[in-house]
Amino acid sequence: MPAVQETIEQVSAIDVDKYKYGFFTEIESDLAPKGLDESTVRFISAKKNEPEWLLEWRLEAFRRWQTMTEPTWARVHYPKIDFQDLYYYAAPKKTAGPKSLDEVDPELLRTYEKLGIPLKEQELLAGVVSDKPRVAVDAVFDSVSVVTTFKKELAKHGVIFCSISEAVREHPELVKKYLGSVVPTTDNYYATLNSAVFSDGSFVYIPKGVRCPMELSTYFRINEKNTGQFERTLIIADEGSYVSYLEGCTAPTRDENQLHAAVVELVALDDAEIKYSTVQNWYPGDAEGKGGIYNFVTKRGDCRGRNSKISWTQVETGSAITWKYPSCILRGDNSRGEFYSIAISNGRQQVDSGTKMIHLGKNTTSKIISKAISAGRSDSTYRGLVSIGRKASNARNFTNCDSLLIGNKCGAHTVPYIESKNASAVVEHEATTSKISDDQMFYCLSRGLDEEEAIALIVNGFVRDVLQQLPMEFMVETQKLISISLEGSVG
């Protein structure tokens, strides 16, 4: 669509520079010395009073990492990362086990308030919003989990929801059994790095037959300068259980690119279901592509049991570079994997994201719905794999990737891989790339909407299939986020 002068003015008025979450909190923090060698790994492990086996596990990963080279296959371009110029551990001070919110640095609480996180459980418990579903939050600030809410209530149901360092102390048998069982330490460059230096993250265990009574949530925030955030999330849904988990991320405005290399592992046993939703609005860098977060994340779910289900939903509006492929290994018979994604890129953002559905068991099904919207000078790539193994009889996959281009300086790319080794499997893939049609715009404009509103309306319609998959309370937030991300993009 040709950009009218009015729209161009709007772009310069509201551009990616005006990052809503671009505040920086002055909190004293505890830093590991800059750089990375074995002593950094030992430092992190010692800081967290980790048992010997975990230190060994980390060191093995670190040695492996030194022999690996950075992957270059993704369609993203960035200056080489100097891994020695980063802090691998940054913890806000005074983190010695906050027992209640009162013990948490008020500065920190204010930060979360600005972010609009429902961290204060008292308010929620007070009944003011009793009809709203409650959400338990694990907040991760730079590298350390600072507070986890609703712990007691969850414990009543046998649900374990805590930081991963706590889980290592309290539930070593579970951590030992499942950590690295989905994403092995040798998996890929960033996952291996994460295994060596991961600092914290969330741990969830849902016991047999329990339907987790509330949404679980983690909020990640990178605050400290020059830090890498390497969190590790491990979620185990035991037989017949259900959990819905949401993660949200922000980072303040910074000139330097900050590194985020997380690993998320999900394990669903027989008849279990995990729903994992992400709203990611890390700082995308300014209009010239300066600063912003490098988001190199490995997320994988293992449908280990029969009839298990893992569903990934992601809304990606932030980060300078996104390199992320939440995947499902459909091992158990009749298991199901889903991937719903909205990726919005503006400014100079580069997104290379997608999913892998690995069908191994019989009657496994998967569904992929990906909606990419590119504006400004951004690039968005869908890269996905659907693989049907020899034994995956009657497997079924449906994939739909749609891209919408706003302006002619951006790019949208689709790179799907389809590999079928079983004749009874049915794989369908469809992809389209187009712009907002003149007819749609004209229709909206003639009904009195201005151009911005019309675009927001059409885009929200475009991504509707995915929006519907988000938990209710985040759906509204996401709709707003979409409008903000696209504000001032070319009409």
Partner 1 sequence: MTDMVSPTPLRTPAEDTLLRRFPAEKAALPGNDTVRSLRDEAFAGFAAAGLPHRRVEAWKYTDLRANVRAIAPAAPAADIARVGALPSAVPGDNARRLVVANGRFVPELSDVAELPAGVTVGSLADALASGDPLVLGALSKVPQAEENVAVQLNAAFMTDGVVILVADGLSLDRPIEIAHIADGETAVSTHVRNVVIAGAGANLTVIETIESVFRAAHQSNIVTDIVVGDEAHVDHIRLQLEPDDALSLTAVTATIGAKARFETFNAVLGAGLARAQVFARFAGREAVGGFRGATLLSGRRHADTTLVLTHDAEACESRELYKAVIDDEAKSVFQGRINVPAHAQKTDARMMTASLLLSEGAEANAKPELEIFADDVQCGHGATCGALDDDLLFYMLARGIPKAEAEKMLILAYLGEAIDEVENEAVRETLIHRVEDWLARRVAG
Helix (H) or strand (E) holding 191: helix 189-197
Nearer to partner 1, 47 or 435 (CB): 435
Cα 262 to the center of its chain, rounded Å: 9
**Among the listed residues 107, 123, 255, 419, the single contact to partner 1 using CB under 8 A:** 419
User: Is residue 412 near partner 1 by the rule CB under 8 A?
Assistant: yes
Residue 489 makes contact with partner 1 by CB under 8 A: no
Shorter beta-carbon distance to partner 1: residue 118 or 376: 376
Residue number with CB closer to partner 1 (100 or 432):
432
CA dihedral 97, 98, 100, 101 (to 10 degrees): -150
Burial class (CB in 10 A: 0-12, 13-18, 19+), 26: exposed
Residue 122 or 432 with smaller CB distance to partner 1: 432
Minimum gap (Å) between residue 177 Cβ and partner 1: 34
From 24, 53, 78, 417, residue interacting with partner 1 (rule: CB under 8 A): 417
| The token pair that represents 461 in the structure block | 């319609």
CB of 443 to partner 1, least distance (A): 18
> Measured from the CB atom, is 342 or 386 closer to partner 1?
386
Instruction: Report yes or no: 339 and 368 within 8 Å, Cβ to Cβ.
Output: yes
Secondary structure E strands in 95-190: 135-141, 144-148, 160-163
Quote the least distance from Cβ 233 to partner 1, whole Å.
31
Q: Is residue 411 close enough to count as binding partner 1 by CB under 8 A?
A: yes
Site string for partner 1, 117-146 (x = CB under 8 A): ------------------------------
The whole-angstrom separation of Cα 281 and Cα 317 is: 5
The only residue of 186, 253, 422, 483 in contact with partner 1, by rule CB under 8 A: 422
Half-sphere exposure of 210 (CA within 13 A, CB side): 20
Identify the residue among 27, 59, 418, 449 touching partner 1 (CB under 8 A). Answer: 418
Binding mask 432-471 for partner 1 (x = CB under 8 A): xxxx------------------------------------
Pick the closest to residue 364 from 298, 277, 422 (CA basis).
422
CB 268 to partner 1: min, Å: 26
Q: What minimum distance in Å lies between the beta carbon of 194 and partner 1?
A: 24
Q: Are 163 and 203 within 8 A, CB to CB?
A: yes
Other beta carbons within 10 angstroms of residue 18's beta carbon come to: 14
The residue within the footprint of partner 1, chosen from 54, 115, 426, 457 (CB under 8 A), is 426
Q: Which of residues 54-113 bind partner 1 (CB under 8 A)?
A: 72-73, 75
Rounded to the nearest angstrom, the gap between the alpha carbon of residue 240 and the centroid of all alpha carbons in its chain is: 25
Binding footprint of partner 1, residue count (CB under 8 A) = 38
* Residue 409 φ/ψ, nearest 5 degrees: -110, 0
| Nearest-angstrom CA–CA distance, 491 and 486 | 10
Q: Give the nearer residue to partner 1 in terms of CB position, either 469 or 489.
A: 489
The set of residues, in sequence order, having a beta carbon less than 8 Å from that of 377 and lying 6+ positions away, is 289, 347, 348, 409, 410
Number of C-beta neighbours around residue 1 at 10 A: 17
What is the contact mask toward partner 1 in residues 380 to 409, using x (rule: CB under 8 A)?
Answer: --------x-x------------x-xxxxx
Distance in Å from the first CA to the final CA of the chain: 7
Site map (CB under 8 A) of partner 1, residues 325-364, x = contact? ----------------------------------------
Window 1-20: residues binding partner 1 (CB under 8 A): 1
367 near partner 1, judged by CB under 8 A: no
Chain mean position to CA 398: 23
Kindly identify the residues of this chain, within the stretch 193-212, that bind partner 1 according to CB under 8 A. Answer: none
Cα torsion 101, 137, 459, 384 to 10°: value is: 140
Q: Minimum Å distance from CB 61 to partner 1?
A: 23
Options 287, 415, 449, 457; binder of partner 1; rule CB under 8 A: 415
Cβ(299)–Cβ(328) below 8 Å: no
Q: Establish if 410 lies at the interface with partner 1 (CB under 8 A).
A: yes
Taking the C-alpha atoms of residue 202 and residue 171, their distance in angstroms, rounded to an integer, is 13
**Contacts to partner 1 by CB under 8 A:** 1, 72-73, 75, 388, 390, 403, 405-435
